A and B are shown apart, each in its own frame.
Chain A
Amino acid sequence: MKIPVVKNILNANDQIAADNRATFDELGVFVVNVMASPGAGKTSVILATTERLPKDVRPGVIEGDLASRIDADTIAARNIPVVQINTGSGCHLDAPMIRGAILNLPLDAIDLLFIENVGNLVCPAEFKLGANLAVVVASAPEGHDKSYKYPGIFAAADAVILNKADLLQVFEFDIEYFRRGIEMVNPNVPFFPISCRTGAGVDAWLAWLLEKQKSFAEDRNQSVIV
């Protein structure tokens, strides 16, 4: 006998992601899930962004990492509220981990929460956390073929940052080629070449992000959960 089901396999995770989101919405916290390969510059992008925030947008960070506290310590040194999640051998963050982490964050003193996912271009895309935006950070040294090799994560992005743009020439990175790969699976997704080293391009990314955060502050009923 056949029984129809039609349920997402990660349904249990999705439900907790929705709970997380309800908590964030209630407290007016706008949440960004930052995904990238190891070393692409997730922490650097978060720092470059938080440094430039207007005073009335207070940042917070959840750091996902296999084992270390290095990134969390860097963030804490800037007096930004931060919680570290060590995933051990896990290759991604999931919604229950975020549920636990937010118990240790002063959410009512945070307007913009960055979640630094585990460095990986495959798994994080499958696990919703309860965020408003999914941002993928690629970087020049990784090569311009990454958008063709990992279409899934680029398809899941609400914005793509190309970091280490100061190194484009060194790595003979063909930005148009890279971008065409993204456009194949995610047409018209906002694309920001930036350098955390020189600061080039960071303002354009920041302006876009603040626009999103502002529209959330005005109307918290945004349905898409990532």
Chain B
Amino acid sequence: MHELAVTEGILKTAIEASQKNGARPITAIHLVIGELSSIVDDSIQFYFDLLSKGTLAENAALRFRREPSVAICRDCAHQFNATAPLEPQCPQCGSARLQVKGSREFFIESIEVEDENTRR
């Protein structure tokens, strides 16, 4: 899977952001993952713990926020959660005329670093 490449991307981006802001140790990384992207969060933490050793991001916690996708029925306007595999029919009226709105994005929203005074 591609989680290794994704983890490397997270690490690099987070460390660059810390370096631009005084190079303080990173305590948390906030990630946003669109439901239609194919990123699996469980394995990312595993790779992250390995790759972050000895870096500014060692011990940082990964905080995932999944942006849910929503299916909208074009016939009765009912809205429901859309995860793969997608429902072929509206659970309310049975219509197959559905539209899914969701994002394929995955990005780092912010990082948290140690405050000046809590510095080791």
Query: Which A positions have Cβ atoms within 8 angstroms of B?
Result: 1-13, 91-92, 94, 122-123, 125-127, 145, 147-153, 155-156, 177, 180-181, 183-185, 187
Contacts and interface: CB of A to CB of B under 8 A. Distances in A.
Interface residues of B, number: 44
A151 B84 contact: yes
Contacts of B65: none
Interface of B: 1-2, 5-6, 9-10, 12-14, 17-18, 21, 24, 31, 36-39, 69, 71, 82, 84-88, 96-100, 102, 104-115
Contact of B96 (A91, A127, A153, A180): A180
Contacts, number: 118
Nearest to B86: A148
B106 to A, nearest CB: 5
A123 B37 CA distance: 9
Given A150-B84, A153-B38, 10 more contacts: A1-B24, A3-B110, A8-B107, A12-B9, A12-B12, A91-B2, A92-B2, A183-B99, A184-B71, A185-B86
Nearest to A94: B5
A5 B5 contact: no
B58 to A, nearest CB: 17
Given A126-B39, A180-B88, A184-B100, A6 B5 contact: no
26 contacts: A2-B111, A2-B112, A3-B18, A3-B110, A6-B107, A7-B108, A8-B105, A9-B6, A9-B9, A9-B31, A9-B107, A10-B5, A10-B9, A13-B9, A91-B1, A92-B2, A123-B1, A123-B2, A123-B38, A126-B6, A126-B106, A148-B85, A152-B84, A155-B36, A180-B97, A181-B88
Contacts of A9: 6, 9-10, 13, 31, 106-108
